[in-house]
Amino acid sequence: MDDINSLFSRAVLHLDLDAFFVSVALLQNSALIGKPVLIGGRSRRGVVASCSYEARRYGVHSAMPMRMALNLCPDAIVLKGDMESYSYYSKLITEIIEEEAPLFEKSSIDEFYLDLSGMDQHIGCYKWSKELRSKIIRESGLPISFGLSINKLISKMSAGEAKPNGAKQILPGGEKSFIHPLSISKIPSIGKETYKKLSFMGVRTIHTLSGIPMRLLQREFGKHGKSIWQKANAIDNSAVIPYTDKKSISTERTFQVDTINVVNLQSILTGMVEKLGFELRSMDRLTACIAVKIRYSDFNTYSKQKRIPYTANDKILLRYAKELFEQLYERRQLVRLVGVRLSSIVPGNYQISLFDDTTEEMNLLQTMDNIKSRFGANAVSRASSLVSAKTSSTAKVIKTFKHSKNGTYSKNNSKKLRAG
């Protein structure tokens, strides 16, 4: 097996912790083993962040509304998420991989890619991968699956097929025969809407999808069409990006004219939090510490920070930012600069809504992110960040998006906001 693999120059390993949040809960409370467990918001309007395999047998899956999940599985045990524990175990496993791997990428709190290219000259890639997996299980107590192939796409898909707690290697040349019988829903980045559209076109398997001309997919799906065609044909040349742990992100604004306009200051603060929140989510990261800085006209600078539950949600971040601002701000002094910093950042791409928000709030935030990704970070923002700056005498043209009653966004005509 490894002799065949050694004839090829590339070997990529994908490690994926099985039902990570649930697995951590089972490790901490063995009484939950074998029972249907849901991690997420406790309210019936909450969202399922993770679920045990016992719950999945009832049709429950992550990102499902908690109310629907409980209808399918009324006896499920609902637990609130514990990001402190998840971060601890994620860091532990990262350190184990870092000790062993020549090159690795941490793509989320519970997923890793390793570039093992050339390793077959010394030790078989599959054998080495099995030994690494055994070490992770032994030292963390958590189940983990892996997939091994010539690229990241096939390795990720094979790890998915190896679950729970399994291993799968796709030999070079066998990529298409492996993925073609699978449902198109197995392709990473194929979301609900794309799946519906392809199904309406009569496309259900990857084999059928692979035979559709690229130009047709581009006509139907735009730029995404090329990516869909490449994935259906097992093509993925993306590199394993070396892991770096970004510790903090920040932004600040210095005013041309010092101000005591509280409404304007809070508006600017809101815009800053939105910008950093979007950046955080774009990186698939969470923060556990927020800080606000104020510099007064006499150049004295003060800051306060607060430890918070891990989040990437604007609403939660803004609540703490305003709380810190109120503690810092002296109303009789002119302000020269305000700033916001997020630190204690960890990987995590599930937590747009964390464990307490409703499906409506999650969908709203995702819709805003989609608009920002397509039209730019300033394309849409909360109304509270669009208050006219009274310290400026220049009229500004601001393009906004108005949230309609049916939950969609429509672009308004540009409106002039004049200084009051």
Q: Which are the catalytic amino acids?
A: 111
Nearest CA among 267, 273, 316 for reference residue 292? 273
Nearest CA among 373, 372, 325, 317 for reference residue 343? 317
Write down the residue that tokens 């009653």 correspond to.
405
Q: Which two tokens stand for residue 64?
A: 């499902």
Map residue 385 onto helix, strand or coil. Answer: helix
Residue 408 has pLDDT above 70, yes or no: no
One of 3.30.70.2340, 3.30.1490.100, 3.50.50.60, 3.40.640.10 is the CATH number of 248-417, namely 3.30.1490.100
Buried b (16+ CB within 10 A) or exposed e, 336-354: bbbbbbbbbbbbbbbbbbb
Q: Looking at the domain 180-243, which fold is it? A: DNA polymerase; domain 1 (1.10.150)
**Where residue 9 falls among pLDDT bands split at 50, 70, 90?**
low
The predicted structure's pLDDT at residue 218 = 93
**Where residue 312 falls among pLDDT bands split at 50, 70, 90?**
confident
Q: What is the mean pLDDT of the chain?
A: 82
The predicted structure's pLDDT at residue 203 = 94
**Where residue 2 falls among pLDDT bands split at 50, 70, 90?**
very low
Residue 124 has pLDDT above 90, yes or no: no
**CA–CA separation, 320 and 387 (whole Å):** 20
**CA–CA separation, 13 and 136 (whole Å):** 14
Q: Looking at the domain 9-165, which fold is it? A: Alpha-Beta Plaits (3.30.70)
List the single range of 239-248, 268-277, 336-345, 357-366 with lowest mean pLDDT. Answer: 357-366
Residues with Cβ within 8 Å of residue 387, at least 6 apart in sequence = 263, 264, 266, 267
Residues in the chain: 420
Residues with Cβ within 8 Å of residue 384, at least 6 apart in sequence = 266, 267, 270
The predicted structure's pLDDT at residue 47 = 84
The predicted structure's pLDDT at residue 44 = 59
Q: Which two tokens stand for residue 241?
A: 């990006």
**CA–CA separation, 354 and 83 (whole Å):** 9
**Where residue 403 falls among pLDDT bands split at 50, 70, 90?**
very low
Mean per-residue pLDDT, 279-292:
87
**CA–CA separation, 280 and 335 (whole Å):** 27
Which residue type occupies 357? D
**CA–CA separation, 107 and 116 (whole Å):** 16
**CA–CA separation, 329 and 338 (whole Å):** 10
Return contacts of 87-91, CB within 8 angstroms, 24+ apart. Answer: 87/288, 87/310, 87/346, 89/20, 89/24, 89/140, 89/142, 90/20, 90/346, 90/347, 91/346
2-6, 346-350, 375-379, 411-415: which is most confident = 346-350
Look at the pTM and tell me if it is higher than 0.85: no
**Where residue 311 falls among pLDDT bands split at 50, 70, 90?**
confident
List the single range of 108-122, 151-165, 209-223, 404-418 with lowest mean pLDDT. Answer: 404-418
**CA–CA separation, 381 and 275 (whole Å):** 9
H or E element that contains 386: none
Q: Where are the domains of the chain?
A: 9-165, 180-243, 248-417
